[in-house]
Amino acid sequence: MKKTNVLIVDDNVSVRDILATYVELKGYNPMVRKNYDFVLSKLMEETLLAGFFDYECPPNDAPEWFENNGVFIPQERRILMSGGNKYESSGIEGYLLRKPFIPGTVNDLLNEIIRLGD
């Protein structure tokens, strides 16, 4: 099955909108969530190209979610977002995207993941 979806989890609507726009411009479908109150369905797993994951999205945070769901998303397809260095001490692996980020960095990360292919 072709991987056409990119998951975006961030509690900030502006960040979600900006990332969704980049994903759409690359020809992929953004799946936007404001927090970690969801579980990946089998279809989501099979069609997921990549994911942007903010560390803090109340009421849950990324480490708790990844403990239950992260196994379905290979680390080379994860873009981990934080304003600090929280991910480094969490044990969660993937590409790091520091906030505030610049558009070119988002583009470069998406290109790298797209290069990996389906």
What domain range is 78 assigned to?
5-116
Compute CA 43 distance to the chain's CA centroid, rounded to the nearest angstrom.
Answer: 17
How many structural domains is the chain composed of?
Answer: 1
Residue 31 CA to residue 111 CA, distance in Å, equals 18
Torsion 47-96-69-75 (CA) sign: positive
pTM for this entry: 0.91
Residue 115: CB atoms within 10 A of its CB come to: 7
Domain CATH number, residue 59: 3.40.50.2300
Which residue's structure tokens are 């990946």? 40
pLDDT tens-place string over residues 63-118: 888 887 766 788 899 999 998 888 888 888 999 999 998 888 999 999 999 888 75
